[in-house]
Chain A
Amino acid sequence: MGNDDILIESQKEWHGTLKAYGIGFLASFILTACSFLLAASKSLAGLPLVILLVLLAIAQAIVQLRFFLHLGQEAKPRWETLVFGFMVLVVLILALGSFWIMYDLNDRLMSNTPMEQSHD
């Protein structure tokens, strides 16, 4: 049966294992709990808290990409990883570019007109 061969072949290509899902789930759970406890405890505030939360989010994203989405485990040539890298580049340009332009614009507008006037 050709169809069965294709099934077996594509099942071999899929990289999920029970161990990977277990590790991915535990790590995601712990990182999520850390993030929420950190935000709820109010022991940190301002920039240090923001930086720590972003780092925890990136760590969990890497965990899920590795253990749930199996990034970087496909056969060569690694097109999926390449497309992923390009996406990260576009997202960084888009997000950082937006922040830069908008905060710069805000600063310039703030310095010219007081806040009360700009609302009227």
Chain B
Amino acid sequence: MSVASHADTPLAATAAHDHADSHEDGSLTILGFWIYLMSDCILFATLFATYAVLHNELFGGPSSRELFSLPEAFAETMLLLFSSVSCGFALLSSLKQKNARVIGWLCLSFLLGASFVAMELHEFTSLVQEGNSWTRSAFLSSFFTLVGTHGLHVSVGLFWMAVLIAQLSIVGITAETFRRLVVFGLFWHFLDLVWIFIFTFVYLMGVA
């Protein structure tokens, strides 16, 4: 409709068409990535359902009450929440074309995310060293699968963020890097969203 009303001259029609196309590309990329995120949600839902079914199958091993500590889970939660918010601040600074600030916020977000992964790896290695690895019981298999899959997503996100920081410091804020930043922001906020359910179902309900 709008293309037809602007099409007074052939040139204007082509320009409007080009504009509509490129405009479409950006929001299509975001929609496509959103569909991926929603299918990832279904992956996590299957892992949550598995955990819910198996979390009482201890096979003589330790229960969640004996293994998990709330202060550590709270620290991990805060690291991820602050990382998510500083990624949001990077996006807000990119609206004002302040590239140095965007990179600064992303670096902060990266450090917080890396600390989260480090804490999780520490938790995993101490569990394994105490003889409570994923082979100990069905409960621990499903625990490592669920929390490990989330940790793997965060690690991939950290790699992605490092690439993004490098691109931003070379080419600055362009249409492409801004689009990548928006898509990455969706991924990072989504991982924080999944973590809400992990700390609630695994840690809080496991200890209380």
Contact = CB atoms under 8 A, between A and B. Distances in A.
Interface of A: 2-7, 9-11, 13-14, 16-18, 21, 24-25, 28-29, 32, 35-36, 38-40, 42, 45, 49-50, 53-54, 56-57, 60-61, 64-65, 68-69, 74-75, 79-80, 83-84, 86-87, 90-91, 94-95, 98-99, 102
A26 B127 CA distance: 33
A57 B197 contact: yes
Contact of B204 (A21, A53, A99): A53
A68 B199 CA distance: 19
B53 to A, nearest CB: 4
A53 B200 contact: yes
Given A87-B39, A91-B45, 18 more contacts: A3-B175, A7-B175, A10-B182, A11-B178, A14-B182, A21-B88, A25-B85, A40-B208, A53-B204, A57-B197, A57-B201, A68-B189, A80-B30, A80-B31, A90-B42, A94-B42, A98-B50, A99-B52
Contact of A64 (B35, B53, B175, B193): B193
Interface string B34-46: 1100110110011
Given A7-B175, A14-B91, A39 B45 contact: no
Contacts of B95: 11, 14, 16
Interface residues of B, number: 56
**Interface-centre pick from B18, B41, B45 (highest chain A CB count, 10 A):** B45
Given A14-B182, A25-B81, A57-B196, A68 B49 contact: no
A94 B205 contact: no
Contacts of B200: 35, 53-54, 56-57
Interface string B177-201: 0110010011001101100110111
28 contacts: A2-B22, A3-B175, A7-B175, A10-B179, A14-B182, A16-B91, A21-B89, A24-B88, A25-B81, A28-B81, A36-B73, A36-B77, A40-B70, A45-B208, A57-B201, A64-B192, A68-B84, A68-B189, A69-B186, A69-B189, A75-B27, A79-B31, A84-B38, A87-B38, A94-B45, A98-B50, A99-B49, A102-B53
Contacts of B30: 80
B61 interface: no
Given A16-B92, A61-B197, A6 B175 contact: yes
A35 B202 CA distance: 13
Contacts of B173: 7
B207 interface: yes
A102 B89 CA distance: 44
Contacts of B53: 98-99, 102
B205 A21 contact: no
A35 B199 contact: yes
A39 B70 CA distance: 9
Contacts of B179: 10
